Amino acid sequence: MKHLEMLTRYGAVLDGGAVSSFGDPAAEHAAVRLRAGVFDLTDRDRVAVRGADAPAFLHRLVTVAIDRMPVGGGGRAFLLSSTGKIQAAFHLLRIAEDDFWVEMAAGVGGRFAESLDFYLFGERVEIQPLRERWSLLSVQGPGAADVLRRLELHPPAALWSHEPARLVGVDVRVARIDRTGTDGFDVWAPRGACGAVFEALADAGAHPAGGRALESLRVEAGLPAWGHEYAEGVIPLEVSGMEGITDRKGCYPGQEVVERLISLGRPPRQLVALTLAADAAVGAEVTAGDDVVGQLTSVAALPDGTRAALALVKRRAAESNEALAVAGALATRRAPRTGAR
């Protein structure tokens, strides 16, 4: 069964090449929070960085220590400008000693590959697209591990760890990656078998869910994302990006700025989670009294009718008890729905 035919059979509502929903985003959100959901993330960009010099090449460019990353491990990573601002945010998996898979938001893979190519000076490194060969599915929720076990798959224990497996007669790769603030696992599947793998995961108890539910789950959990919190002009430490940085790993673009902020412990802005009393859009100003102290970076309507948001605000406002407002309506600080990682 072809991929799109399978998605349509499950009631997928498509928005370009992405699944917006399966007809009821609120029910999809609830299913993931209570049990497990399966998302089709095949629209996201994926590239491989391979070759004898790939480990050293990546080590001198990205914010995580490649020399400490084992085969079967991975992590979040950033590519920064010389001033420490985010140029790209991505997930990085080490498949073999000289083979790395990179996954990131849709539409940025080409620019990412061009950025890496700019730094190539004869190294034995190849940057290859993976979209035509591999699809990407993700099982999220407190019951995600049980879904995998029903299919006789082994859920990797450590965050970012991954391993090969077999499902519906094909080779897949299962990685532990949290996208909703709870347990989660990505399943890389051959492009031609994506429909069969999705169907197997759904039959094993993962509720089909789309991008609208994934976005509301992410915002509810307080997790940053590319194009929202991870954006050009933002320093990773301002948006809870320490997970993607290895302190004192050595030289990479922007390293001096990052290390200085780590030492000071005082980034100029901080990410805060808010509950809004009125409708607002991304980019709306956050105020404290008469002062503009920041802006909204993400907004999502939750199934219970509340409006959750993330905002990048001045450190003083983030750390104080000052009342915050958006468009003249109260914006209440809140703890993320689950522990964001």
Per-residue pLDDT, 8: 83
Q: What percent of the chain has pLDDT over 90?
A: 86
Is residue 340 pLDDT above 70, yes or no? no
Please tell me the least confidently modeled range out of 21-35, 205-219, 249-263: 249-263
Q: Are 72 and 161 in contact (CB under 8 A)?
A: yes
> Of residues 67 and 341, which shows the higher confidence score?
67
Q: What is the dihedral of CA 33, 189, 117, 58, to 10 degrees?
A: 70
Is residue 272 pLDDT above 90, yes or no? yes
Per-residue pLDDT, 249: 87
- The strands making up 170-176's β-sheet, listed across from edge to edge, are 162-167, 170-176, 184-190, 134-140, 37-40, 207-209
Per-residue pLDDT, 338: 53
Is residue 295 pLDDT above 80, yes or no? yes
Average pLDDT, the chain: 94
Tally Cβ neighbours within 10 Å of residue 265. Answer: 7
> From CA 165, how far away is CA 57, in angstroms rounded?
29
Q: Which residue has the tokens 């468009």?
A: 327
At residue 221's C-alpha, the angle toward residues 39 and 141, to 5°, is 40
Q: Where in the chain is the domain with CATH 3.30.70.1400?
A: 45-129
Per-residue pLDDT, 339: 40
Q: Where in the chain is the domain with CATH 3.30.1360.120?
A: 3-42+132-220
Per-residue pLDDT, 99: 98
Quote the DSSP letter at residue 269.
E
Is residue 124 pLDDT above 60, yes or no? yes
- Superfamily of the domain at 3-42+132-220: Probable tRNA modification gtpase trme; domain 1 (3.30.1360.120)
Q: Are 243 and 208 in contact (CB under 8 A)?
A: no
CATH code for residues 45-129: 3.30.70.1400
Q: Are 137 and 38 in contact (CB under 8 A)?
A: yes
- Superfamily of the domain at 268-341: Aminomethyltransferase beta-barrel domains (2.40.30.110)
Q: What are the E-state strand segments in 51-114?
A: 74-80, 86-96, 99-104
Confidence of residue 337 (pLDDT cuts 50, 70, 90): low
Quote the DSSP letter at residue 285.
E
Q: Are 53 and 97 in contact (CB under 8 A)?
A: no
